[in-house]
Amino acid sequence: MNAFPLLVHAYRQAPWRIQRRWASAFLLGLVGLAMIAALYLDVTARAAILGREIQSLKADIARLRQENATLQTRLAELMSTYSMEQRARALGYRPVKSTEIHYVIVPGYVRPTSVKLVDTVARPATEALPPEYRQSLLEWFVEYFHSTYGGGDGVSLFTGGLP
Amino acid sequence: MNPFSMRREYAWRSIFVTAWLLLFALVILAQIIRIQRSPEAELFRQQAGEYAMVRRIVYPERGKIYDRKGNLLASNEVVYTVGANMPEVVDKEALAREVSAHLGLRYEEVYERLLNPYGLIFVPLAGFVPAEAAQALRERYEQLWRELEEERPFPLSGLEFRPMLQRSYPENDLASNVLGFFNREGRGIFGVEEKYDSLLAGTPLEIWIPQDPNRVAEIPRVPDGASLILTLDRNLQAAAEETLDWALGEYGARNGTIIVMDPRSGEILAMATAPRLNLNEFWNYDKYYRQAYQFNPAIAMQYEPGSVFKVLTMAAALDSGLVTPSTTFYDTGLIVVGGVPIQNWNRRPWGEQTMQGCLQYSLNVCMAWLSTSMGKETFYGYLQRFGIGRPTGIDLAGETSGRLKLPGDQDWYEVDLGTNAFGQGVAVSPIQMMAAVSAIANKGRMVRPHVLRSIVSDGQQVDIAVEPVGMPIRPETARLLSEMLATSLEREASLALVPGYRVAGKTGTAQIPVEGGYSFTETNVSFVGWGPVDDPRFIIYVWLERPSVSIWAGETAAPVFSEMAQRVVVLLDLPPDAIRLQVSTR
């Protein structure tokens, strides 16, 4: 009968061991949380940098479009009627008279009737920004959660849309 | 103390400290939650939401304007608003000195603006600064930035250049009367710029941009304003303006206009007027024009057309079946209509004449006989079908409707039926006259004159269809009348003839109404003609105001028509009739 308490004592962990186990679990959780926080911070920081880059690129696009318009105008000025006539006269040309022209029949030639000025590459109405550049990690997770497990009406909690 | 009791005491202390720390953490947590849920927090969140977005209105680039061959007639270029960002300005004197020196401004004015910014963060010092001038100032800024590396902030701190687009016209004054201009208040004035202002301007878009880079939002692309392709041919326009300037000098005319149109489609190929405004300096408008109609008299001026109107009277008489080309009329040199005697231009009788002769010698008496014989209803019915008395609907701002008095109007008298037949007592615009006569060149069919050929918007080009406006006379009448007019020119050996091309047309020498009658010494002269007669590709209207060399259209407007037509056939690649007929019969 006296052997039973001895057996119980033999299998009980030393208190410091239990405390160390708890402390380890706590620290492990803390490290895990720190890692997630670091990861989140990294993604957020990168998203912020890319966001700024996009804003800067948008500004560049606007500037280049303005420069393009100016260059087109400069080109048109260089090729204006007055400029072209001056250059032609400087090269020794003069306007032709109707009686000086020789007409030649060119089989198969079709005179162009109208000028086409449309862009060959159609531009989309909005420049699509991939979600990677718009979503934070949390937003991605919430969206993933909603799409995988359903729930709610699919509206993100962290909307970045326009008011 | 035995080790066991020491360990217990240590344990208690640990628990005590841990409990306090936990309690402290819980208090912090509770405080965080309390702050987050407080009414003030809601207010702050609301404020943060308000400042998180910046409202911006994105203005589309104004659409360009091209001629029918794709040459640019109106475009945009970058100019700058040079100003000071006041919180960064450290040396107002230096800033005012550099800005005024580089931009040609008065130092005192610039300095005054910097001294009294009236609460503005950004104080504009000069607007619409051309890129070249701004570049020189920018280089100075950068030079000082490098030189004064140790001095931060440096004297030009706060200087800013804000770009914006300004309308630009590469051809300066070419076709200025057709294009109009875009002023600095953002409004199109006159011509195409006014008529198609909203189309060219596009639709501004209001957007909210998040300040938080984590929430970078897509900025939607704002489509540019629609670009327009006009029916004008730049080279033909230049030729018309050159011919008009030559004619004004050669015949001592005060003013004038030349219009070239394709009678089949109503496309205006050239529309020259004088004087012309350099559209890049539109603020000089007052130096050139005293009244708005002078900007484009081709559509906005109304006047008595004179003898060119006889073409319409003869068309009505032929089409109504009253006469044929061989019908004879005995001209006594006088006809009385409504109690008023009407005479020929030379006040002499011309004896027996066919209708061909009536046109060839431009007999007023014969024309008055035709209109009175037709009667009021028939004659005015035809004139209305020709569009006299109402705007043609050309797509340019500021068109006048002219004036056609009709029986029943308070100011209409019986004599008007006679005088209207040869173009007196009726007011038309050049474009109206041309549109009416184009029906004869175009097998009796009238089309609306227009300057817009295509609209290019958001990657799509839409061509403008020909718009018929009626058929005032039968094709057979149009053919007969064309033949009569061509024969008239050939028999008269008119100065309007074009070597190698058969053309039809009619002169108009209009006396100028003065107080109590008409001037005997001054006239307005005109000529309307088209060719080639068998397949008309162009119709030209020439109008000159008070030529001093001669009062007769046959000696002034007719040779101008010929000169212009010779340039038109070259620029439209129209081979002479002989070659063209030879090719078509193969």
Quote ipTM for the complex: 0.79
Chain A residue with the nearest C-alpha to that of B236: A81
Where are any strands of DSSP class E within B106-226? 122-130, 159-168, 181-182, 188-189, 205-210
- Hey, are the CB atoms on A79 and B71 less than 8 Å from each other? yes
- Hey, are the CB atoms on A81 and B463 less than 8 Å from each other? no
Closest CA relative to residue B294, chosen from B346, B335, B240, B257:
B257
What is the spatial distance between Cα B481 and Cα B340, in angstroms, rounded to a whole number? 29
Number of A/B CB contacts below 8 angstroms equals 143
Where are any strands of DSSP class E within B325-423? 328-331, 334-337, 340-343, 351-354
What is the spatial distance between Cα B84 and Cα B91, in angstroms, rounded to a whole number? 11
Give whole-number Cα distances, A39 to A130, A137, A139, in Å. Answer: 21, 9, 14
3-state secondary structure of B479: helix
- Hey, are the CB atoms on A162 and B53 less than 8 Å from each other? yes
**DSSP type of residue B535:** S
Q: Nearest CA to CA, how far is B218 from chain A (Å)?
A: 7
pLDDT tens for each residue of chain B, 586 residues long: 566 677 788 888 888 998 999 999 999 999 999 998 888 888 888 888 777 777 777 788 999 999 999 999 999 999 999 999 988 888 889 899 999 998 999 999 999 999 888 888 889 999 899 988 999 999 988 888 888 777 667 788 889 999 989 999 999 999 999 999 999 888 999 999 999 999 999 888 888 877 766 666 666 778 889 999 999 999 999 999 999 999 999 999 999 999 999 999 999 999 999 999 999 999 999 999 999 999 999 999 999 999 999 999 999 999 999 999 999 999 999 999 999 999 998 889 999 999 999 999 999 999 999 999 999 999 999 999 999 999 999 999 999 999 999 999 999 999 999 999 999 999 999 999 999 999 999 999 999 999 999 999 988 899 998 889 999 999 999 999 999 999 999 998 889 999 999 999 999 998 888 887 788 788 999 999 999 999 999 999 999 999 999 999 999 999 999 999 999 999 999 999 998 888 877 6
Q: Nearest CA to CA, how far is A16 from chain B (Å)?
A: 10
Q: Which alpha helices (DSSP H) does chain A contain, by range?
A: 3-11, 15-78, 81-90, 137-149
Question: Which positions in chain A touch B25 (Cβ < 8 Å)?
Answer: none
Question: Which positions in chain B touch A72 (Cβ < 8 Å)?
Answer: 64, 72, 75
CATH entry, B58-204+218-230, from 3.90.1310.10, 3.30.70.260, 3.30.450.20, 3.30.830.10: 3.90.1310.10
- Hey, are the CB atoms on B210 and A160 less than 8 Å from each other? yes
Q: Tell me the whole-structure pTM to 2 decimals.
A: 0.82
Domain with CATH 3.40.710.10 in chain B: 234-584
Task: Provide the phi-psi class of B351: left if phi over 0, else alpha when psi is between -120 and 50, else beta.
Answer: left
Are the C-beta atoms of residues B296 and B479 closer than 8 Å to each other?
no
Secondary-structure class of domain B234-584 per CATH: alpha beta
Where are any strands of DSSP class E within B60-179? 65-66, 72-85, 122-130, 159-168
Give whole-number Cα distances, B218 to A58, B420, B460, in Å. Answer: 10, 66, 24
- Hey, are the CB atoms on A96 and B570 less than 8 Å from each other? yes
Question: Which positions in chain B touch A136 (Cβ < 8 Å)?
Answer: 214
Domain with CATH 3.90.1310.10 in chain B: 58-204+218-230
| Amino acid identity, position B285 | Y
